[in-house]
């Protein structure tokens, strides 16, 4: 690695439109400064994972002096010339509640693979109208931990892969491909035809996930909290299962249910090594 790659080059942002200490009057949208389809990434793990991903094109990088110094100390190449800004200027972009740790990047969306290109092995997750970006981000983080091949979700009724979702995913957005489909039932049908075992997870599922026969490739289908899986989604799954728990509370947050289900499936399929 050359010295040019190791040390970030800095330019001082003019800071127009934001006074030190200023706060936005309302929530900011997670969009690029040009108003186009730019993905907004913030936080240490999220931004450094994006910088390390050659498939991610970085358009713009805002850093505080402390964040820039840390990147340089850890020999993390910035790939673009960053703008050095005050923390309040990033607060102004994101809102005061965003934990950005002095890093914000505008980037291109990652290319989305298709159902037909998914590997015929391992596990994929299918999300049925899970709209909370915190939950989807946490699910993506678990998916990366358990080496999930991809996450399939609908283009509508799902959060954008930017902002809060990316922060909650803590870098997993760069590791787990996100497959966007127009119709989930048709996508499940395509997975069935390709030989995937489609396993729905619902509190009213007929069998315990820990006991139902499993095989690869496996598609584990999760629904939104409260609503669960939609009827057509249930009808398209090959098997409907549930999680049996010994305590008085019988349901879990969907991101926790995803992590537990992935542990069960990867263990039983011999994918833990």
Domain end among 65, 91, 107: 107
The residue among 55, 259, 233, 234 whose CA lies nearest residue 154 is 233
Residue 202 CA to residue 91 CA, distance in Å, equals 39
User: Is 31 in the same domain as 131?
Assistant: no
Q: Per-residue pLDDT averaged across 17-38, rounded?
A: 45
> Which residue has 């990147």 as its token pair?
71
The token pair that represents 234 in the structure block: 């249930």
CB within 8 A of 239, min separation 6: which ones?
197, 198, 199, 200, 207, 212
Same domain assignment for residues 89 and 180: no
The reply to whether 13 and 59 lie within a common domain is yes
In a domain, 273, yes or no: no
Overall domain count for the chain: 2
User: Domain check: are 68 and 197 in the same one?
Assistant: no
Domain of 155, in residue numbers? 115-268
Structure token pair of residue 68: 């820039």
Indicate whether 148 and 209 sit together in one domain.
Answer: yes
Q: Are residues 193 and 134 in the same domain?
A: yes
Q: Are 221 and 242 in contact (CB under 8 A)?
A: no
pTM: 0.83
Q: Indicate whether 242 and 142 sit together in one domain.
A: yes
List the CATH number of the domain containing 144: 3.40.1280.10
128-156 pLDDT tens trace: 999 999 999 999 999 999 999 999 999 88
- pLDDT of 183-230, one tens digit each? 999 999 999 999 999 999 998 888 999 999 999 999 999 998 778 899
Question: Same domain for 76 and 158?
Answer: no
The span from the CA of 9 to the CA of 55, in Å, is 22
Residue 128: how many CB atoms within 10 A of its CB?
27
Does 164 reside within a domain? yes
Last residue of a domain, one of 107, 123, 146: 107
Burial classification of residue 168, based on how many CB atoms lie within 10 Å of its CB (0-12 exposed, 13-18 middle, 19 or more buried): buried
DSSP one-letter string for 45-95:
HHHHHHHH-TTSPEEEEEE-HHHHHHHHHTT---SS-PEE--HHHHHHHH-
Q: How many helices (H) and strands (E) does the chain have?
A: 9, 12
pLDDT band at 36 (very low <50, low <70, confident <90, very high): low
Position 29 in a domain: yes
Domain closes at, from 79, 107, 135: 107
The string of DSSP letters for 193-249 reads HTT-EEEEE-TT-SEETTTS---SSEEEEEEBTTTBS-HHHHHHSSEEEE---SSS-
CB atoms within 10 A of CB 1: 7
At CA 266, angle to CA 263 and CA 268, rounded to 5? 100
Q: 129 and 250: one domain? A: yes
> 140: which 2 tokens?
């993506």
pLDDT tens string 61-102: 999 999 999 999 999 999 999 999 999 999 999 988 899 999
């Amino acid at each position: 690695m050359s010295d040019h790659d190791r040390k970030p080059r800095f330019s001082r942002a003019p800071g127009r439109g934001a006074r030190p200490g200023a706060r936005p009057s309302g929530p900011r949208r997670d969009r690029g400064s040009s108003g186009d389809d730019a993905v907004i990434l913030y936080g240490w793990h999220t931004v450094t994972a994006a910088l390390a991903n050659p498939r991610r094109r970085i358009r713009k990088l805002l850093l505080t002096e402390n964040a820039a110094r840390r990147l340089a100390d850890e020999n993390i190449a910035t790939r673009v010339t960053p703008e050095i800004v005050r923390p309040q200027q990033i607060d102004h972009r994101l809102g005061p509640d965003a934990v950005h740790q002095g890093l914000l990047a505008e980037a291109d969306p990652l290319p989305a693979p298709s159902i037909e290109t998914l590997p015929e092995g391992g596990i994929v997750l299918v999300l049925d109208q899970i709209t909370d970006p915190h939950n989807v981000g946490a699910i993506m983080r678990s998916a990366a931990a358990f080496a999930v091949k991809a996450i399939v979700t609908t283009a509508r009724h799902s959060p954008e892969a930017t902002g809060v979702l990316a922060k909650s995913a803590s870098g997993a957005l760069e590791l787990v491909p996100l497959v966007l489909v127009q119709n989930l039932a048709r996508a499940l049908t395509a997975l069935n035809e390709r030989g995937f075992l489609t396993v729905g997870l619902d509190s009213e599922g007929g069998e315990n996930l820990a006991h139902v026969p499993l095989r690869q490739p496996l598609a584990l289908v999760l629904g939104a909290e409260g609503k669960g899986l939609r009827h057509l989604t249930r009808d398209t799954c090959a098997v409907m299962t549930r999680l049996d728990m010994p305590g008085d509370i019988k349901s879990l947050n969907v991101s926790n249910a995803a992590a537990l289900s992935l542990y069960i499936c990867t263990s039983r399929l011999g994918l833990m090594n």
